[in-house]
Structure 1
Amino acid sequence: MACRSSGGPATAGGGGAVKKLATLALALAATQLAANPPSIQGAGATWTNPGGDAGKTHYSRLDQITPANASRLGLAWSAELGTGRGMEATPVMVDGVLYVSGVAGRAYAFDAATGRPLWAFEPEVDMQLNRTACCDMVNRGLAVADGKVMVAALDGWMYALDAKTGKLVWKADFIENRAKGDNSTGAPEVAGDVVIIGMAGAEYDVRGYVTALDLKTGKLRWRWHVVPRDPAKGPQERPELEAALKTWDPNSRWDIGGGGAPWDALNYDPETGLILVGTGNGGPYATSKRSPAGGDNLYLGSVVALDPKTGAMRWHYQETPGDNWDFTSTAPMILTRMTVDGAERPVILHAPKNGFLYVIDRQSGKLLRANPIARVNWAKGIDSATGRPILDAEAADYTTGPKIVFPGTPGARNWFPAAYSPKTGLYYGSVLDIGNLIFMTPGQKPLKARALNNDAALIFTQDLAEAVGTFPAPMAAQIRALPAFADAVKNPGKAQMRAIDPLTGKTVWAVDTGGWQDRGGVMVTASGLLVHGNVAGQLVVRDAATGRSLKAIDTGSSIMAAPMTYRIGKVQYVAVTAGWGGGGYPYIPRYGAAYNRVNANRLLVFKLDGRARLVKPPLLPPLTVAPEPPAQAANVTPEVIARGASLFFGNCAICHANRPRSITPDLRRMAPATHEAFRQIVLDGLYVPAGMPRWNDILSPQDADAIHAYLIDLQVQTRKDELAKQKAGKPLDGPALTILSNY
């Protein structure tokens, strides 16, 4: 088959030889699959990768902890990890050792039964890369193989550590071009004798790729790019990229890179011998900005199957052709076997951001099912014959004016792992029903190196009613006239924990969670338990058949990561990392544990009749009125403040939420010393050791002064409002508008 520019599956094209190789590879995969019994059956006593088993099903065959005794669950041991940002990694347990990764690529090893620390590793990270990590300095896991622990640091270095001692065996730089905004937040995946890692940064100026390193030495083995390179630079690196080039405008924004960063969703399939990769969103967001003549823009928003020995593509399925909405396909995939249309099939279960749950044959890439699991208005459905979405341009094409799009850019599903139980045949996970208003400014923008280039403004539907009142009257009227406006204001959205039939998309049961940010990872067990954390700080154990809560342990720490379970001797343990950040970064919702307590990153381990004392992190001091800022400089005009606001929302707002409780400082509450050092902080990197990068390559001194003027003005207004609230006896932390933009 030749590679096609459709949403349907295809094998690599580019000539007769490639066609024959691809056909032979698929035939060989089918023979291997028939000759070997299924190896994707759930985790047993060990938990060998962040997803538990080879299929990353987050399903455990252990059954000591049951619905009947789950109420006896208590703390076995805990460990402080010494950081205070987002924790998204699920631990790995091999040979009695519990390994876990943390902020920016730290790694830790503990005795899995006692919690005794064995070793800890902290990479030397270039914190300047924090500027291009759109969603916190998180890390989603490590890999254990060949006596080594592999962990990728935020700045794109892979570290191979001795599993027993934590000492460095090798390290390798897997970033292709350090002048760009590439960074790393994902977990590596071992496939035979290579370790494979993706990268992040599609909102910035990157051309996405995955890299394979030699497991023993760290030497580069191959690299596969998601999008073609500028054809003016010569032939493409691979034949499938020559085919992909036909789906891009020749005059695309090659300088920006195209996006497609595969920052998560790597699965090695031992049954087919393929490495499966979920690819990222386009950059800039709008197809009209990225590829003005349109096109499917392969291989954005796709699942691709690669040969782990060479990196050659064997098939692809594009879930969001011509991605226009930041609909990454990087949500974790689950590999399993299901009976579909009367035959047992090896399948991928995948629910990316775009609102559909897909069932895909993992031998061929053929689409078997696709059903919506949240509000979707960008497409009317998926054509089962072609595999392509049936677009609704009138509802969701914001290139002609503001539109309210469902799902929103946070995605119906995202990085937070789901689980699949072969016993129930159900898919379990958090589902987010939320949209956002999207609009952009006209015309192409110049490239901003290592900075946001998405060229879109986003307002979540939770903020829509408030936001419209702040817009100029003509624009407000235009937005209120949108067909989706009334529903978006009436039903702005929520998060639910759900059990879903993957073949129909129908919800079997659903439980509302605390708010749209409350969407953590899950684990399911053979004994019928569903375990997850929440933003309020509880580890929740549910009956997987009904969703009924059986036990909720108040830990005092917001929990987003997926739990895992393992057995040492006759004792079953449940472990989870705790810490707010990542997907909801930097805003901490009022119902979150991290809103009232120190956001201390911890590893928490539980067992039946656990007796260890569960100590909650310390309470934060009460909120006080914003301090009085310095007077504005004599040359500050309303125009300067407006320019500062535009620069702030285009460069700073993605990290600085400007709310009373946030992982990053609330810049409406700057102390006098911070005001005095503002230029040094923003331009010279005074706070780089604390994670605040320098901006002198993008912002001029005049730009920094304009941002400062805007923040002084904002602090004046905040202080005035909070003094009035204090006088009236109202809380100081009322709602605040969230706008993420890049002009």
Structure 2
Amino acid sequence: MLKLSRNIVSSALVMAAIFHSLFALADSSATVNTQTIIANSPDNWLSYGKDYKEQRYSELDKINVGNVADLSLAWSFDTDFNRGLEATPIVIDGVLYLTGNWSVVYALDARSGKLLWKYDPQVPREWGKMACCDVVNRGVAAYEGKIIFGTLDARLIALDAASGEKIWEVATADITAYPYTITGAPRVAKGKVFIGNGGAEYGVRGYVSAYDVNTGEQLWRFYTVPANPADGFESEAMKAAAETWTGKWWEFGGGGTVWDSIVYDDELDQLYIGVGNGSPWNAKIRSPEGGDNLYLSSIVALNPDSGEYIWHYQETPAESWDYTATQHIMLADMDVKGEQRKVIWHAPKNGFFFVLDRENGKLLSAEPYADVNWASHYDLETGRPVETENARYLSDPQLVRPSSMGAHNWQAMAYSPQTGLVYIPVINSLFEYKAVDEYLHQWGQWNLGVYMQQQSVADPILAQLLTSKITQGSLLAWDPVTQQAAWQVPHKLTWNGGLLATAGGLVFQGSAEGQVLAFRADNGEKLWSFEANTGVMAPPVTYTVDGEQYVTILAGWGGAFGLIAGLEKEVSPPPSRVLTFKLGGTGAALPANPLKQMHEPPARISEDKAILEKGRTLYYAYCSACHGTEVISNGAIPDLRHLPTAFHDNFNAIVLDGVMKKAGMVGFSEVLNEEEAFALHAYILEQANVDKESREQSDWWRALKTWFYSVVAKLLGIVMSFS
């Protein structure tokens, strides 16, 4: 009887704690609004970049340079999938809200990682093919008791913060007509939700929209590229933009998607959007007689209440390299020639760090922060880049720096007022841009106007080494006043994580190698690391609960580079996870990753070089974005070299007819015939058998090859650094 009473009391206490958490959750989330985001409480993380300046700097200092070595795992939470994670968690009074793969939203107890609720928007798996860069999502927005997020199939949804129940849902695009997606995090201000979209590679027209935070009603929409002039223009801004385009660009969509950075300026009451690349990439195809193609690769300032155009600055006129301007926009005040100016700091894909006057868009400074060879400098009088002779690939292929991955991609920067430095996850890379011989626009397929494949590399060991040597990443500390590097820490691999700076004198970052790292903010000295067992791309956040400071980061390998450059390992990727650290945590390590299943491939079906080369071209056109360069997958998406025989036996049914579309593998019968499918299959089996033969070689021979190839790759990397 006593035991029963204790059980009843215990259950009652548990229920009371749950209800208390829910009521506290409802009360605290209701206080998130424009004013609380401006107030920028150091205990919480209320907006994507922490506040409207998006500097990702925390005033918390209980974890600092003196004790960060004692940081250890407090808890971890496994999500439902093992694909790439890119989200910035929102933290409100002890509750984390975050998104995972397929736009699933999780609410977790920030102290323990306990799941409070989960919402799955049921994105059709076949729509994953329309995501250029993995089935990722960069996070939610919180406002007046609501958690708001976008889905991969272009819906915007508001949930009740306390229960996870849906409040409203709206389609932001007609996906029955055009292949739109959403991977970016919404921004909220003044009772409005601002969201853009993705899909430029597939042939869409970009825009950004504002919705009523309470009802989901669309309030305004600003298009970033003009439509057919014969149909009229939505605004004077579109009429002006049309004068910078030629040909019939609207037949190709135009591009210009606002797929990531959107920033509200509460001081000037302006909304800044970063505009993406052209569709197709090749400007000569979409605008054959030239023109700057506004507002591609631009920062555009809008009236947040009406969506009306205020000003723009185009960073890359006539963009032709996938040089988006969608990267992290940061707001600041700084001294410029003895005068205090309200500025934008921006490090987009094209490799130059821009300082803009955010009142009017005037270019104040632009200097390269990475290896660049497409432009020598920017003319401050005209605001335009001075392009080099090898920038445009009009007739001959050109090796261009940066590559289409950019010198900086979506991974967030951070700024520390203690050091005056901006911290940038930099990529140094190059790409051979070669125009296609004949352009064929295909809705729902990649429409680039350039060949994706680079020079063929037969040996898988050499392919991996070349990827790691020619394309490299680093953590760069950049002085925005002097426009010079203060220090730089090289990483072994590319595609490293976003950043967090703290008053504890620290900079936190995840790495492609699978570590969570802490550096001194003043000199880059590494002070702490943790093995995450998978690549870490997402930016960290920090917060306090009950006086205890925590650091949280999402770990899951994928995204554009993470898919196409598979970086093969002998183990399979673990579940994508939320990792949270504190001083004196459990000290536990994560469980070991499972071994990869390696099925032996069937024999080659062709050794005809013409057929294999045709198959390689088709593979890069339709398969490589998910299954990886040279058929080397990262493991989260099946490695086509190691499939069970049954997949090869049913190759046409899968690849042409789409019998596995419910699992995300759609059919390609609209663009491939049986002869082409045979060539594609022959190339995949060729790569599978080359890999098998390489694995069957003796350990000493593989070690010798690895050593020799590493020397070759290093020398080639040195040579390419002068390109």
The interval holding the TM-score normalised by the smaller chain is: 0.7 to 0.9
1:237 alignment counterpart: 234
After TM superposition, list the pairs within 5 Å mapping 1:115-130 onto structure 2. Answer: 115-130=113-128
Conservation of the 8 A alpha-carbon contact between 1:465 and 1:489: no
After TM superposition, list the pairs within 5 Å mapping 1:391-410 onto structure 2. Answer: 391-392=387-388, 394-410=389-405
Whole-Å separation in 2 of the counterparts to 1:555 and 1:721: 29
**Farther-moved stretch of structure 1 (432-441 vs 580-589):** 580-589
Partner SS state of residue 565, structure 1? strand
Conservation of the 8 A alpha-carbon contact between 1:278 and 1:304: yes
After TM superposition, list the pairs within 5 Å mapping 1:125-136 onto structure 2. Answer: 125-136=123-134
Structure 2, unaligned runs of 5 or more: 1-33, 714-723
Q: Indicate which of 465, 472, 475 corresponds to 1:497.
A: 475
2:347 alignment counterpart: 351
Whole-Å separation in 2 of the counterparts to 1:711 and 1:39: 51
2:92 alignment counterpart: 94
Partner SS state of residue 242, structure 1? helix
1:675 alignment counterpart: 648
Conservation of the 8 A alpha-carbon contact between 1:588 and 1:662: no
- Match status 1:282 vs 2:278: yes
Deviation at 1:290, TM superposition (A): 1.2
1:99-153 deviations in Å (ceiling 9; x for gaps): 1111121110112122221101111112232222111111111101121101111
Deviation at 1:548, TM superposition (A): 0.5
Q: Indicate which of 426, 435, 443 corresponds to 1:449.
A: 443
Conservation of the 8 A alpha-carbon contact between 1:129 and 1:155: yes
Whole-Å separation in 2 of the counterparts to 1:46 and 1:362: 27
Q: Give, as a single letter, the amino acid of the residue that structure 2 aligns with 1:291.
A: S
2:639 alignment counterpart: 666
Q: Indicate which of 655, 667, 671 corresponds to 1:698.
A: 671
Conservation of the 8 A alpha-carbon contact between 1:282 and 1:323: yes
Q: Give, as a single letter, the amino acid of the residue that structure 2 aligns with 1:450.
A: G
1:52-88 deviations in Å (ceiling 9; x for gaps): 1111111001111110111111112111112100011
Deviation at 1:253, TM superposition (A): 3.1
Pair 1:600–1:38, CA change in 2 (3 A): closer
Pair 1:190–1:92, CA change in 2 (3 A): same
1:11 alignment counterpart: none
Deviation at 1:229, TM superposition (A): 0.6
Conservation of the 8 A alpha-carbon contact between 2:86 and 2:554: yes
Deviation at 1:163, TM superposition (A): 0.4
Q: Give, as a single letter, the amino acid of the residue that structure 2 aligns with 1:650.
A: A
Q: Give, as a single letter, the amino acid of the residue that structure 1 aligns with 2:392.
A: D
2:194 alignment counterpart: 196
1:195-235 deviations in Å (ceiling 9; x for gaps): 11111121111111112222111122222111111223x11
- Match status 1:616 vs 2:595: no
Pair 1:718–1:117, CA change in 2 (3 A): closer
Whole-Å separation in 1 of the counterparts to 2:480 and 2:570: 36
2:493 alignment counterpart: 515
Pair 1:724–1:69, CA change in 2 (3 A): closer
Whole-Å separation in 2 of the counterparts to 1:352 and 1:452: 22
1:635-664 deviations in Å (ceiling 9; x for gaps): x96655443332222111121111264332
Whole-Å separation in 1 of the counterparts to 2:362 and 2:470: 35
Pair 1:522–1:704, CA change in 2 (3 A): same
1:561 alignment counterpart: 538
Partner SS state of residue 563, structure 2? coil
Whole-Å separation in 2 of the counterparts to 1:397 and 1:316: 24
Whole-Å separation in 2 of the counterparts to 1:296 and 1:307: 24
Deviation at 1:312, TM superposition (A): 1.0
**Farther-moved stretch of structure 1 (120-129 vs 721-730):** 721-730
1:598 alignment counterpart: 573
Whole-Å separation in 2 of the counterparts to 1:652 and 1:259: 22
Partner SS state of residue 254, structure 1? helix
After TM superposition, list the pairs within 5 Å mapping 1:135-214 onto structure 2. Answer: 135-214=133-212
After TM superposition, list the pairs within 5 Å mapping 1:66-77 onto structure 2. Answer: 66-77=64-75
What's the TM-score once normalised by structure 1's chain length?
Answer: 0.85
1:12-36 deviations in Å (ceiling 9; x for gaps): xxxxxxxxxxxxxxxxxxxxxxxx9
Deviation at 1:367, TM superposition (A): 1.5
Whole-Å separation in 2 of the counterparts to 1:732 and 1:578: 32
Whole-Å separation in 2 of the counterparts to 1:640 and 1:272: 60
Whole-Å separation in 1 of the counterparts to 2:452 and 2:441: 20
Q: Give, as a single letter, the amino acid of the residue that structure 2 aligns with 1:259.
A: G
Whole-Å separation in 2 of the counterparts to 1:637 and 1:572: 62
Conservation of the 8 A alpha-carbon contact between 1:360 and 1:366: yes
1:111 alignment counterpart: 109
Q: Give, as a single letter, the amino acid of the residue that structure 1 aligns with 2:239.
A: E
Whole-Å separation in 1 of the counterparts to 2:200 and 2:61: 42
Whole-Å separation in 2 of the counterparts to 1:374 and 1:730: 33
Conservation of the 8 A alpha-carbon contact between 1:262 and 1:279: yes
After TM superposition, list the pairs within 5 Å mapping 1:387-536 onto structure 2. Answer: 387-392=383-388, 394-443=389-438, 445-458=439-452, 492-517=470-495, 519-536=496-513
Conservation of the 8 A alpha-carbon contact between 1:351 and 1:357: yes
Partner SS state of residue 251, structure 2? coil
Deviation at 1:457, TM superposition (A): 2.1
Whole-Å separation in 1 of the counterparts to 2:493 and 2:287: 36
Pair 1:717–1:490, CA change in 2 (3 A): closer
Partner SS state of residue 404, structure 2? coil
Deviation at 1:374, TM superposition (A): 1.0
2:524 alignment counterpart: 547
Conservation of the 8 A alpha-carbon contact between 1:560 and 1:579: yes
Deviation at 1:597, TM superposition (A): 5.0
Q: Give, as a single letter, the amino acid of the residue that structure 2 aligns with 1:114.
A: S
Q: Indicate which of 220, 243, 246 corresponds to 1:246.
A: 243
Whole-Å separation in 1 of the counterparts to 2:155 and 2:391: 39
What's the TM-score once normalised by structure 2's chain length?
Answer: 0.87
Conservation of the 8 A alpha-carbon contact between 2:349 and 2:408: yes
Deviation at 1:587, TM superposition (A): 4.8
Conservation of the 8 A alpha-carbon contact between 1:532 and 1:540: yes
Deviation at 1:97, TM superposition (A): 1.1
Conservation of the 8 A alpha-carbon contact between 2:395 and 2:435: no
Deviation at 1:507, TM superposition (A): 0.7
1:647 alignment counterpart: 618
1:686 alignment counterpart: 659
Partner SS state of residue 654, structure 1? helix
Whole-Å separation in 1 of the counterparts to 2:371 and 2:646: 47
Q: Indicate which of 597, 604, 607 corresponds to 2:582.
A: 607
Q: Indicate which of 312, 322, 329 corresponds to 1:326.
A: 322
**Farther-moved stretch of structure 1 (430-439 vs 608-617):** 608-617
After TM superposition, list the pairs within 5 Å mapping 1:286-297 onto structure 2. Answer: 286-297=282-293
The percentage of aligned residue pairs carrying the same residue is: 37
Partner SS state of residue 337, structure 1? strand
Conservation of the 8 A alpha-carbon contact between 1:722 and 1:732: no
2:23 alignment counterpart: none
Whole-Å separation in 2 of the counterparts to 1:37 and 1:524: 23
Whole-Å separation in 2 of the counterparts to 1:119 and 1:399: 53
Deviation at 1:569, TM superposition (A): 2.1
